[in-house]
Amino acid sequence: MSQSVQELAKLKNVFQGQFLVGAAVNPRTLVDQRDLLREHFNSVTAENEMKFERLQPEEGRYTFEHADRMMDFAKEYGIGVRGHTLVWHNQTPAWVFEDGSGGTIDREGLLARMKSHIDTVVGRYKGEIYAWDVVNEAVADSGPEVLRESPWLSIAGEDFIARAFEYAHAADPGALLFYNDYNESVPEKREKIYTLVKSLLDRDVPIHGVGLQAHWSLFHPDTDDIRRAIERYASLGLKLHITELDVSVFAHDDKRTDLKEPSAEMMERQAERYGEFFGLFREYSEYITSVTFWGAADDYTWLDYFPVRSRKNWPFLFDAAHQPKPSFWKVVQG
């Protein structure tokens, strides 16, 4: 391949002027995937290192070492940073919801803790993080309720969501603020996410975008449902970010563990799927301003050994040796 074709085939160049191309990273991949990250990506997100439990494991004791290291990496290579995530029911330490004497903290106490966490974290990286996932996964997958059960909801009430956005906006008025969720293209959940975000906008809450996690597979969701989700969220007049893209080679109910390598058919089908997805992202690039993969190459993915133990997965555009897969070529060729 000639020098210029190689240059052009860098993901961040291919989509320049359309959207940023990001990868979730962790302390290990920042080392193991360094060259791949700086060549192809112009945005990074901490896979875990900016979550509540990592940044404030005990009240008032902040641990920024790993998050800072990612910020340094991004600065060194002129890469943007998406912050993930401020308020979530998972990976949040128990102390946040406790009163210190065996009981549950009250509403005012919980909101004060939320504010102080957001002030400290968002304030520390003010001007250096272009977008934050402010609230993650607050919507119920099924049933009549819009919001899922969580200690945030049961203690603080449903306006915990609005408060989180207000605190984040006050801490960094320049950062774009996102509501982020999975199953975002499933019609039932899509409508709930739409309802939640619309209610925030109706109350003038400072929210700027919807994050579509996009943990997808060879089989699900249907591209028509993805298109309808993009159009529905875009109709709110907000920006859209694809925040956690990966394409599992297994169907949800497929539990087999015999595969040591992906089959050629899987890789072909994955390329077709990626081609369709990026076709949509290009078509809607007026709204979609950032596309982040939940990893970078098949040597590391959270889908390895989860949810099925002793089973690897191959969800990305680059293989375990960081070489482009058929999926990569499909994406760059458009």
Site of interaction with ligand GLA (CB under 6 A): 84, 136, 182, 213, 244, 302
Name the residue nearer to ligand GLA (CB basis): 89 or 282.
89
Whether the CB-CB separation of 165 and 153 falls below 8 Å is answered with: no
Whether the CB-CB separation of 37 and 297 falls below 8 Å is answered with: no
Name the residue nearer to ligand GLA (CB basis): 86 or 238.
86
Closest CA to 107 of 162, 153, 147, 168: 153
Q: In this structure, what DSSP letter does residue 275 have?
A: H
Q: In this structure, what DSSP letter does residue 324 have?
A: B
Name the residue nearer to ligand GLA (CB basis): 40 or 51.
51
CA-based end-to-end distance of the chain: 18
Q: Whole-angstrom Cα distance, residue 166 to residue 114?
A: 11
CB of 178 to ligand GLA, least distance (A): 11
Report the residue closest to ligand GLA, judged by CB: 302
Q: Which residues are catalytic?
A: 137, 244
CB of 182 to ligand GLA, least distance (A): 5
Closest CA to 277 of 322, 234, 214: 214
Name the residue nearer to ligand GLA (CB basis): 92 or 270.
92
The token pair that represents 190 in the structure block: 């899509």
Closest CA to 243 of 201, 281, 205, 195: 281
